[in-house]
Amino acid sequence: MLMGCVFILTLSVLPTSAESSYPETVGVIQTLHQDELQALHNYIAFAQKAEAENYPDIANLFHAFAASEAIHARNFKEILFALNVKVKKIAVQPVTVSSTKKNLRFATKTELKEIDEKYPQFVKKLETENHAAAIQFTTYAWESEKQHRKLIKRIKSGTGIFFGMLTKEFRETQAEYFVCQNCGSTLTILPEKICPICGDTVSKYKNITTD
């Protein structure tokens, strides 16, 4: 009789799987992890093209974006590990690399779609299950993508008829890019004390330009 009671008690405390407890969260984070890996792959290819076309500042911009996306992917992977969920291994898609001018247009369109459509939808889904870490790191990624949009805005007008004039300016004056290793925040000027997105110390920022 005692053995039976112990057996019943053991069954009652067995943990449920993350897929059953947080199905929406697991699905969203798996998707975000894969999307960030694809973005990382894209930006590295775009940076290499910009270097080949002698646009060093634009290449640095793409390298900074790649570094930021890599941090997002790492954070999402860690959430899945914490949930004891196996990370799906999906091969990244081949990158269609065009001219730097066209690559900038593609980056602009992609970042705007992520900011205005993808992240709001994902955060809304995550809030239904209220997994704190998933919401936090998804919000970090969303906020850093907004920073990417601001950085792209300064070159967006140059993807049209003024592209030649703008890229000449980029060759002569190169910006520095700093990426927070905790959340992926991407800036051209270091904050005074803490990261404006995650609140970590400024020491967490890495100068991507000097890589």
Mean pLDDT of the chain: 84
Kindly report the length of the chain: 211
Task: List, in sequence order, every residue forming a beta bridge with 37; answer none if it has no partner.
Answer: none
39 membership: H or E segment, kind and range: helix 23-52
Residue 179, SS3? strand
Is 204 within the bounds of a domain? no
In a domain, 135, yes or no: yes
- How far, rounded to the nearest angstrom, does the alpha carbon of residue 164 sit from its chain's CA centroid? 30
Residue 28 within any structural domain of the chain: yes
Partnered with residue 179 across adjacent β-strands are: 186, 206
User: Which backbone phi and psi does 180 adopt, to 5 degrees?
Assistant: -70, 125
The amino acid present at 48, given as its one-letter code, is Q
In a domain, 199, yes or no: no
pTM recorded for the entire structure: 0.83
Residue 132 lies in a domain: yes
The CATH number of residue 32's host domain is 1.20.1260.10
The model's confidence at residue 19, banded by pLDDT at 50, 70 and 90, is low
Look at residue 182 and tell me if it is in a domain.
no
- When divided into structural domains, the chain yields a total of 1
99's tokens = 């001219």
Backbone phi and psi for residue 194, each to the nearest 5 degrees, phi listed first: -130, 160
Between 45-49, 90-94, 159-163, 187-191, the lowest mean confidence (pLDDT) is in 159-163
Q: What is the pLDDT of residue 101?
A: 84
